[in-house]
Every structure is written in C-alpha cells, then in structure tokens.
Amino acid sequence: MNETNRILFDELALWVEQGVLRALDLALARFVQREAGEQDPAVLLAVALVSERNAHGHVCLDLGDALAHPETLLASDTERPPEPGIHDALTARLAGLDPAAWAARLGASSAVCDLAGSDDDGGAPLVLAGTPRRPLLYLRRYWRYERIIEQGIAQRLARPQPLDPARLRPLLADLFPAEHGDPWQRIACVLAARSPFAVITGGPGTGKTTTVVRLLALLQGLALDADRAPLRIRLAAPTGKAAARLNASIAPRVADLPVAESLRATIPTAVSTLHRLLGPIPDSRAFRHHARNPLDADLVVVDEASMVDVELMAALIEALRPETALVLLGDKDQLASVEAGAVLGDLCRRASAGHYTEATAAWVGAACGQSLPPETLDDAGTPLDQAIAMLRHSYRFRAEGGIGALAQRINTEPAPTRTEIQALFTAPQQEALGVIAELTVRTPDDPALIDLVVSGYHGYLRLMRAQAPAAEADNTEIDDWARAVLAAHGEFQLLAALRHGPWGVAGLNARIADWLTRAGLLDGTDHAWFAGRPVLITRNDYGLRLMNGDIGIALETPLRDADGGQRRVLRVAFPHPDGGDAIRWVLPSRLQAVETVFAMTVHKSQGSEFTHTALALPDHPTPVLTRELIYTGITRARERFTLVHQSPRVLEAALRRRVRRVSGLRLGAEDEEQRS
C-alpha cells in the first residue's frame, strides 16, 4: 500500500470511530485495494461512499451530487449532524474532481464495470452506470436489482391487454353506480385492467382498497363472461401487520360488492406477507420462488408498496411468470422502505401531473365514460405514466380541517410555515375531521406527556387485568381475551423519530414502563418480561413464522400441567400472520430479536393505523427528521393525532427537509433534476 492510500485508510478509520462510516464500508474499500490491486484513492473513496450510501437507503452514489453537496454524505449514526470538520475533510478529498473525471477514473479500475451502454457487468464488484450527465456508481447486486425491476416492468408495459371497451362498460356500471362519485377510482380500474403492470397511489382514506376490490371484480367478471377460468390472484403486503390490516378491510368490501355470488366467490380475501408469498429459505437471502420456480398466479397485488425495498421488489418481480400481472398499491408520499430503495416513490415521481396521452384519454372515455382532466394530458407521456393512477379524494378525512388538512398542507409545496401549522392546530376541532392537538412539553418527563401516555395505554392494560381468563378457561376463551387485548392496544400508539437519546424509543420505552407501573397498570417491570409488555419483532424468524414488524403482547395465561395441576405462564400473543382470527402463542424464551414497543419509530409504524397517534419530536433538529416522516406519523392516526414537542423550530426544520433517495430507476421518464 502506498503512502497516499495509507493516509486515506487512516482517515476512513477515523470516520468509523466518529460514527459517520461503518466498519463494513471501510472493509469493502480495503478489500478492493487488496484483492483488485486498486491504488487510486479517488476509486477507493468512492467504494467506501457507495457502501455508506446503501446503509442510508440510497441504491447508488450519484457522483455529481456527491461533488456538489458533500455535506449530504457521511450521515451520523448518532442521529445528530456530524462534526463540521468531517465534511471539510471530505470536501478536501473531493477537491479537483468533476463527475466526468471521477467516472473516468472509476471506469479504469478493474473493480468497476463501466457499462457504457452495455448490460454486462462482467462480474465486477462495482458497476458504473447512469448517463454521461449523471454517472452513478453501484454495488453490483444493487445494480442487478434495479435491472430486474426495470426489465420486469418494461416487459409488462410493452404488452397492454387487448380489451374491448364495450365489454368493460356494463361491468363498470355495476361496480360504480351513479351515486359513487369518485371518477379517479373508475379511471384507476380502467387503467389497471388493460396494463399487466399498474400502480394505484393515494393518501390515507382515498379508497385504494375499495378500488382494487372493484378491479379484481372487473377482471374476474371479464374472465367469467368469456367462459375462461377465474384468474389465480394472490394478495400480499410487506409486513404481518399490513397483511392483517388488508385482510380485515378487504373481506367486508368483497361482501358488499353489487355482483352475483358466483363472481364474488372468485375474489380472494386471504392476504400473506411478501416473504411468505415468495417462500423464504432459512439462513439465506434467497426465496423458494424465483425465475426458475415462479409463483402460480395470474395476478399479484401488493399493498403498502412504499415499504418494499429494492431487493424485495426485485425478488418479487423475478418470481413472476412473464404473463403474470402486478398491481402495486401505496402512498407515494410516505417514508420509503427502511432498506435501500424507494421503488414506489421512483415509479410515482410524475403521478400527480398524470402525463396521460390522448390515446389513453380516449381509451378511458370509451371504457368508463370518464374524461381525464385537461391538465393531466401530455402526449409526451411515457408508457409508465399510462399505468399509474393517483386517487385524490380522501373519504376518511375532509380537507377543510383536522388530520386531513394537516396532512395535506404538510405534503404540499412550498413547505408550510410555522404560522400555517399553528393555525390548523388552533382551529375549532370537529370529530368528523379527525382531531389534532399540540402538546408542548419542557422535558421528556413532563407531567403532561406522562398523562397522555398513561391515559393512552390505560385501556388495554385495564382490559388485560379485568378480563383475565379464569384457571378453568378453555383455549377459545383465552384466545378471545388475547384478541381483545391486542385490539385495545391498537387504540393508542406513541411514535418517535429517533431510536436513541432521551426522545428516542429506547429511552421512552424505559420511562413509559416506569410511568405505567407507578400508575398501577403494570407489575414486575424490573424483569425483562412482564405481563402487558408489547413487543416488536425486529428480525424475520422463519421457524416461528414471525416477521420483522409483527407486534405481540406478553400475557399471563392459565396452563394445566400433565398431573392436572394449574399454573399461570407468561406467553406472547401474536395475531395470525395472514390476518385470521387465530392467535399464535410463543414462549418469551423463543423470541431472540424483539424490543419493547410502548414507543415505536415512525418507520416501524408503516403499515399500521391507530385510533389515536402521538408523535414525539426530539429537542433538536436532526437529519432523520423530514417532511415525509412527519406526514407518515400524522397519517397513522385514524381519529386523533397529537404532536408532542419542546420547540417549534424542530418542526420547522423537519418540514423544510425532504427525503431524496438516489437511484437509477427511470423507465423512460426523464429525471426532473437533469433538465436544464
């Protein structure tokens, strides 16, 4: 190793110590230097940076962005901005480079495959892709994930279904009677019916589930009318909680469809997690279903698609037969997945404006009699644009106040001012609009916060005690009790932006257990496990069929010994993974990756809803706090939302910061940021 690189690695090691680089990032750079013989410090630095970017959700390293905004790199693991000197050192390292020169040096490395228009990565650990105007550096597996997604979607967009609009009209008239006034739900059904790939996006309460149920009825009706076998349809969601929610909401909507029973019987209501759908292989990243063993399905529908990272989306698309259609549902404005990628956001980049061609407008008009708004028409629209529908009317919250108005204003450019937000909180509250409240506290132990949390969790803990099954209770009675406790727990949830510190979930969970004990609602919290402890699974456990994000509650249940004696045993109750009524009971000793979840990060709350949601902001601005995080926290609430904070400047800073995850997923749509 030459002296220049020895100094570089010493600096990278210092960044690891300071928490802005992972040991893994440094190890990858050392590997490339050692195994590929790479001596160019600009290449080795790029290797460490692309690995660091993956850890923060980015699929690749945008060389131009990195040079223009080095302050966005090296995000601190402590959730505080890194020391200013770190970015000064990084800026000095990047001095003298421009995107083209940096790309040329990377392209000359044996560790980097410069595609230059080819799709052959040559087996190199890194791939240089993108365009001359926007060179992108990938770890090879992430480049491969994006290519699988792009190719799978493009192949489906290239073969729209040859449907006769006249066949759709009578079915649509039944499914959307005159009193059903939302035109975008009809439009979404029509667009998705003719495209083997489609996206239906919209905020909470806009009717995504209602629309997809009608879409399934439309497709099955077309099949039955043509004397074909019903479509084999699979429904999935990223987490067990999201799957259970979809299962609970889809069944009554199917029951209410104004169609013949023979048609209704062909529409599935069972929902599985994506992992279970694909068939996980223990101790492996691979799945049982893949390109050589595809899923047996004609159509796959995925809800809460904003939570699906680039790796899982690639695995799903690879597991589909070429003729299998795919429909994604989700809110494009929610936080992206915890892991790398923002696939739904990338696909829906242009959804608000529509970009529908005249041909699409004519098809929609012929199929359902609906005219597309003139402002959504654009003859330069891409094939992807024609397959995306954005639902725009919320049936859960009205836009004139409360939760709906707050979520809409936060999600609208330009960023709202503190005065605008304050006006929404101080406006007269109406239950029908979703009540919003603001709680200003002095410390994380403020009595007002204690009262909020104790009253929020009082219901499920009182029910747990008051309705605890007697010693002679049978399994049905015990399961009914557990189901009621789990449902009551969903009435309130405290969310936090951070994991660490006094306002992070770790500190909040410890204090909340103490508050509830002092309120007489919990016992035995000095032990790791106690009755009433809500827990969150943090790593997939395929043996127990528990997935990352599943929530359970520890409960004391009566148990009869082999000799007929009675004792009480602490077990953890989880809802059925696919949304059924059954309860799964697991001994605490078998749970290896769990955490207490009186307080939950906003990221972990995705796919869940609570009657009353409270969002606690930290006492300082941090890069983790973004407009998308605030919006996601607000929209977890069904009826009430409470914002807890110490200083209005923290909220103001969050609303000015937007998530922008770097990827190369384009599918023919020009990147807005490349336009001159």
The answer to whether 206 is a known ligand-binding residue is yes
Q: CATH number for the domain including 437?
A: 3.40.50.300
Which residue type, as a one-letter code, is found at position 511? R
> Cβ(259)–Cβ(316) under 8 Å?
no
Q: Convert the pLDDT of each residue in 485-510 to its tens digit.
A: 999 998 999 999 988 888 999 999 99
Count CB-CB contacts under 10 A for residue 90.
21
- Whether residue 171 is found in the same domain as residue 130: no
Going by pLDDT thresholds of 50, 70 and 90, the confidence category of residue 671 is very low
Residue 552 assigned ligand-binding role: no
Q: Would the pLDDT of 673 be above 80? A: no
Residue 437 and residue 640 in contact, taking contact as beta carbons nearer than 8 Å: yes
Looking at the fold, whether 260 and 374 belong to one and the same domain comes out as: yes
What would the DSSP string read from start to end of 480-509?
Answer: HHHHHHHHHHTTEEEEESBSSSTTBHHHHH
581 and 438 fall within a common domain: yes
pLDDT at position 668 is 66
The Cα–Cα gap between 370 and 273 comes to 35
Q: Is residue 657 part of a domain?
A: no
* 153, part of any domain: no
Taking the CA atoms of residue 218, residue 224, residue 229 and residue 230 in that order, the dihedral angle to the nearest 10 degrees is: 30
Question: Which pLDDT value is given to residue 674?
Answer: 41
Cα–Cα–Cα angle for 136, 142, 145, nearest 5°? Answer: 115
Residue 202 assigned to a binding site: yes
**Which string of DSSP letters, residue by residue, matches 58-105?**
-SSEEHHHHHH-GGGSS--TTSSPPPHHHHHHHHHHHTT--HHHHHHH
Q: Is the pLDDT assigned to residue 676 strictly greater than 60?
A: no
How many residues does the structure list for the chain?
A: 676
DSSP one-letter string for 395-416: SSS-TTSHHHHHHHHHTSSSPP
At 360-381, the pLDDT tens digits run 999 999 998 889 999 999 999 9
Q: Is 538 annotated as a binding residue?
A: no
Same domain, 134 and 198: no
- Judge contact between 215 and 327, C-beta under 8 A: yes
* Number of domains observed in the structure of the chain: 3
Rounded to whole angstroms, the Cα distance separating 469 from 476 reads 10
Which tens digit of pLDDT belongs to each residue from 522-533? 987 778 899 999
Same domain, residue pair 301 and 435: no
Whether 77 and 181 map to the same domain: the answer is: no
Report the pLDDT averaged over residues 415-420: 82
pLDDT at 284: 79
Instruction: Please give the Cα distance from 641 to 614 (Å, whole number).
Output: 6
SS (H, E, C) 520-549: CCCCCCCCCCCCCCEEEECCCECCCCECCC
Whether 81 and 187 map to the same domain: the answer is: no
Task: Let me know whether 357 and 432 are in one domain.
Answer: no
CATH code (residue 137): 1.10.10.1020
Tell me if 128 is assigned to some domain. yes
Distance CA(323)–CA(156), nearest Å, equals 8
Give backbone dihedrals phi and psi of 113, rounded to 5 degrees, phi first: -95, 115
192 shares a domain with 105: no
Cα 534 from Cα 394, distance rounded (Å): 32
Residues 371 and 423 in one domain: no
How does DSSP classify residue 598? Answer: S
Is there a binding annotation on residue 580? Answer: no
- State residue 541 phi and psi, 5-degree precision: -125, 95
Q: Do 144 and 276 belong to one domain?
A: no
Among 365, 390, 415, residue at a domain's last position: 390
φ, ψ at 594 (rounded to 5°)? -135, 160
Q: Is 203 among the annotated ligand-binding positions?
A: yes
Last residue of a domain, one of 390, 411, 446: 390
pLDDT digits (tens, 9 = 90+) for 209-242: 999 999 999 999 999 988 899 999 999 998 877 8
Residue 144 within a domain:
yes
State the pLDDT at residue 4. Answer: 86
DSSP state of 375: G
What integer is the mean pLDDT of 62-72?
A: 90
Mean pLDDT calculated for residue range 93-120: 85
Contact (Cβ atoms closer than 8 angstroms) between residue 574 and residue 547: no
- Local confidence band at 280 (pLDDT 50, 70, 90 cut-offs): confident
Alpha carbons 551 and 534: distance in angstroms, whole number: 7
**204 annotated as a binding-site residue:** yes
Q: pTM of this prediction?
A: 0.86
Same domain, 600 and 463: yes
Q: What is the pLDDT of residues 283-305, one digit of tens each?
A: 778 899 999 999 999 999 999 99
Q: Which residues pair with 287 in a beta bridge?
A: 280
> In this structure, are residues 629 and 602 in contact, taking their beta carbons and an 8 Å threshold?
yes
What CA–CA distance (Å, rounded) separates 388 from 352?
A: 10
What's the domain range around 504? 402-522+531-652
633 marked as binding residue: no
Q: Note the pLDDT of residue 632.
A: 92
**How would residue 512 be classed by pLDDT, with cut points 50, 70 and 90?**
very high
Domain boundary among 360, 390, 420: 390
